[in-house]
Amino acid sequence: MPGTVLLLAASPVGRGRLVDAASVLPVLAAVPPAVLSGTDTATVVELADPLEPQAVLTRLRAVAATPGPLTVFVTGQLALDRRQHLPHLALARTTAATVRYTALPWQWIREEFRLRSPGSTTLFLDLHADADSWGWLRTHALDSGRNNTVFGRIAPPPSRRTVAAPAYMKTIATILRSGWRPPVEQLHQQAFTRLGPEAYGDLVLTVSGGPGARVPGGPVGVGRSPQAAAVPPYRPEAYGGVAPSVPPVPVFAPRVPGAQVPGGPVGAGPVGADRSPQAVTAPPRPQDPHVQVTAAVQAGRHQEADALAAAHEQAAARAHGPASEQALHWSEVRADLAMFARDPARSCRIWLTVAETRLTAGQAPDSPGVERAVDRAHHQWGQVRDKSRAQELGTLLAQLRTRVPGRRPGALENVRKQLRELQATPF
């Protein structure tokens, strides 16, 4: 049966651009349609830097209605709308203030492919997250539909005034230009093998669609066995009860005959001064502390955000112990906050500390939490520009890499090579 291919590359025009998404289209267009689709013949639909969400939706509906296999290549950047805090694919006219109106809601992609037969749709994603989206991904999964097969990566925000390249998708295209398409799982693995150390710390997406398919749990780094990010919903009690409370909400008891409230029965007669429903104070509802931290980051108050996270980290350590998941969660939050504040050295140091704490607590070197921490430290170390700090942190990272080599080959040798280059370069 003939297949269909959708090539979608989108990113904002101007200062908000994080990735040059459209640069991958000439490379993908050079691949024969049948190879892109994995079928004998295929139709290719291309969307380069579209302007309007509705125009993209029209194309999504058109390709979703095709009966044969559908392969979708999406390259671009994720943004959150300020009202509902939902992920969107930023389009050409998208700005931070207009995400809700000018970007494509990610749920549209999920919904349009929802009725397709399980296993007939494959998505390859190469996405860069802005700071808000990257924080959102710590506690949410990017849901692309449980019946769809999804491979790809979500990269953290690039350095300031840097426009990243869609390296994963370009590597996919380069492999396919050979004229042979390996099985999609193998294609994905080959791409990550070629990416190199720049991809350490990316969120790796691997979801096999079909009957009974589900999104595996846990945020992941490149070095571990790829899974899709899916963290359980926030529960205040999980963080040691340190969530700030909101003012009590007065609620009134229902008018049920004989019902007792502090002032006596309600509904036994006309409501008057001595038989009025009494205001009952509801128990305080905990507020997600991440909301305050996110607000501080969005306002550029990075020191305040770190202080808030540090307070929750200390409270969780007192309540559950410094090696508890509750305390380590806030340590990891602080590592990401340092990255948002453009302080890769501090972020690297925190990730190294998290890894050491997990190892000291008895976690295995190949456990997901340990590998994730070392991979993120490796990624942040590559962003450190101060040579003395890079050499200091690199030495610590090399020691960790001897115990935690990760799932990607060559990680330890990469650290040692860069350390040799640092030592050979005069300060």
Mean pLDDT for the chain overall: 79
As a whole number, mean pLDDT of residues 21-33 equals 92
Decide if pLDDT at 251 tops 50: no
As a whole number, mean pLDDT of residues 262-272 equals 41
CA atoms within 13 A on the CB side of 401: 24
Give the C-alpha separation, 77 to 98, whole Å: 15
Decide if pLDDT at 257 tops 80: no
Q: What is the pLDDT of residue 209?
A: 67
As a whole number, mean pLDDT of residues 4-21 equals 92
Q: What is the pLDDT of residue 82?
A: 84
Q: What is the pLDDT of residue 147?
A: 85
pLDDT digits over 354-389, tens only? 999 999 999 999 888 898 899 889 988 888 888 889
Q: What is the pLDDT of residue 382?
A: 83
Question: Residues of the chain with pLDDT > 90: what percent?
Answer: 43
Give the C-alpha separation, 319 to 313, whole Å: 10
Decide if pLDDT at 36 tops 60: yes
Decide if pLDDT at 258 tops 50: no
Q: What are phi and psi of 113, to 5 degrees?
A: -95, 0
As a whole number, mean pLDDT of residues 260-265 equals 40
As a whole number, mean pLDDT of residues 82-90 equals 91
Decide if pLDDT at 249 tops 80: no
pLDDT digits over 214-238, tens only? 332 233 333 333 333 333 222 222 3
pLDDT band of residue 411 (cuts 50, 70, 90) is confident
Q: What is the pLDDT of residue 220?
A: 31
End-to-end CA distance of the chain: 62
Residue written as token pair 């398409």: 181
As a whole number, mean pLDDT of residues 150-165 equals 86
**What does the chain come to in residues?**
427
Q: Which of 183, 176, 157 is nearest to 24 (CA)?
A: 176
Given CA atoms 53, 59, 63, 65 in this order, what sign does their dihedral have?
positive
pLDDT band of residue 178 (cuts 50, 70, 90) is confident
**Amino acid identity for residue 223 in this structure:** G
Choose the most confident range, by mean pLDDT, from 121-125, 131-135, 292-296, 417-421: 121-125
pLDDT band of residue 269 (cuts 50, 70, 90) is very low
pLDDT band of residue 287 (cuts 50, 70, 90) is low
Tokens for 212, please give them. Answer: 């009974």
Q: Supply the pTM of this predicted model.
A: 0.58
Chain centre to alpha carbon of residue 85: 13
Q: What is the pLDDT of residue 365?
A: 92
As a whole number, mean pLDDT of residues 34-47 equals 92
- Identify whether the C-beta of residue 18 lies closer than 8 Å to the C-beta of residue 166: no
Give the C-alpha separation, 359 to 357, whole Å: 5
